[in-house]
Structure 1
Amino acid sequence: MTYETDATTLELPWPFTGREDERELVRRSLTGARRGMVVTGPAGCGKTRLVAEAIRGTDCARAAGTPESRTTPFAAFAHLLPEPVTLHGAVRSLSGVRTLLVDDAHLLDDASAALVHQLAVHGRTRLLVVTTGGFRVPGAISRLWTGELLPRLALEPLPEEETDALLTAGAGPLDALTANRLRRLSRGDLRLLRDLLGAVRGLLTPVPGTGERAWRGPVPLTPAVRERAAAVLGRTCPPERETLDRLAFAEPLPPDQDDLDLDVLEVLESDGLIEVDDRGAVRLAHPLYGPVLRAAAGRLRARRLAG
């Protein structure tokens, strides 16, 4: 992992905060007769950091799924297994591993997922399995908790008080408007919160008489922020980008508005870029998209869309 050191980038890692009870619960799942735990939750809520803190100082083998290796059998365990290997041979090879952490288990290839399930069935290896909500999970992984092989800990986004503690650790005391704005834009994603704070850190100005600092103005389009909003900024189809930009300046919009293309709206909805509520109003799917699209628009385009 590379850590940038320019003045606008937040130093890493952030202090571990707000998950002390969950950390102890994970630790206890690896002691005595217990066989481990599955940790689930939305992207960026701190699942990997939680289990890393829970196993700190212990002897633990690690494996992780990746999008690129989902079609390669046993790809996640290639560094732990001999070649070639069957499922039976893989279980036998890992039977001596006391504790195994499997991160991003929703990205495992089918053979690796089956291996994790068999390790749980045999019960000789204590397993910590981390998976992100909102993705299709291999059936062998979901059966870990639906089949009651392992208990599941479903993490919620970090509470507001603990999130504010992270912001203070990263940039000092912030005024309420700035803290609320950063929380809203990140929507519980701590990695996005870190990126946003890194982007605005050099723009914070003192609030007279308070000791706090404030951020006003548009979202800065740093490389980290652009990467986070690539789904909308990288949209190259002109009608789709025009619709996204219009929403950025005037959401919500009624879907039956005469000059809105319903075919375009369906494509954007299926790609998870817009949402339609029960009353039919159309909005951008993430609170970061609007500010980033507005910041990326030129002055003439912004004037036309705002009008």
Structure 2
Amino acid sequence: MAMTQFRARALLLTPAGLWYAALLLLPLAVVLIFSFGERSAIGGYAPGFTLEQYANLPARFAAFRNTMTLAPLGTVASLLIAYPLAYFLAVRVSPKWKTMLLVLVIVPFWTSILIRSYAWIFLLGGKGIPALLAQIGLDDVRLLNTPFAVLVGIVYGYLPLMVFPIYVALEKLDKRLLEAAADLGTPPWRAFLQITLPLSMPGVLTGSMLVFILLMGEFLIPAILGGGKVFFVGNALVDLFLQSRNWAFGSAVAVALVVIMLITVALYTRAVKRFGASRDDVGLM
């Protein structure tokens, strides 16, 4: 009986396992192998075994610095905007308006991120917000092709991905806990800190990790709103693989990015367990 169950599970998991191996593990293995090679005389990859590519990683320090600075800032900024919005949608809005407002949050995803980013070029360019600021005496304000412009594009582009996990967590919140806290004389701000926020942390962590991981590989927004002056690791990879054709060094940069991702996921898992324990404690209260 046990052998039959094992075979059934293996049969069900085999297609997904082969798909996972072919589309994730195999490309990662190729990139890892390339990272220990060399650039050939005509570009591309030449077989070899050297750590020279990893030793040259500081040459792309600016790209890693920008990514590790703006990705967390973009995640935090998205969270600060998304949480009040998700709370309003989940707790304060009546059911008859909730669906329409949720659709409005999704609507930007119906348009290409490329078009939306180009719209911000006009808004942040000389004839947009800087022109309005000039009318009130703030001249020579430069917004486009700056880290601020990239941060604005990041928050605008990834905000829905932060809103929905938090909304789902808040939607599942047992309102009776808040009613009991109010009956016991707990102030609303303390009930939020002790009940609502801890119980919504799984959504906060999921949304934050989802946005952060995608931002680590972001290419389009820095390329358009950064104007070639604010490079992410994604921009560095495009340059190394498609322009300079240094596949070995590009692979080393990609491996370093994957390592950072793995460390982030490990910290994320640890945080989920910690807040899960806190959630259980709140539930026991």
What range describes the TM-score normalised by the shorter chain of this pair? Answer: under 0.3
Q: TM-score, normalised by structure 2?
A: 0.26
Higher relative contact order (CA 8 A, sep 6+): 2
Q: TM-score, normalised by structure 1?
A: 0.24
Larger of the two Rg values belongs to structure: 2
Q: Larger helix proportion, structure 1 or 2?
A: 2
Q: Larger strand proportion, structure 1 or 2?
A: 1
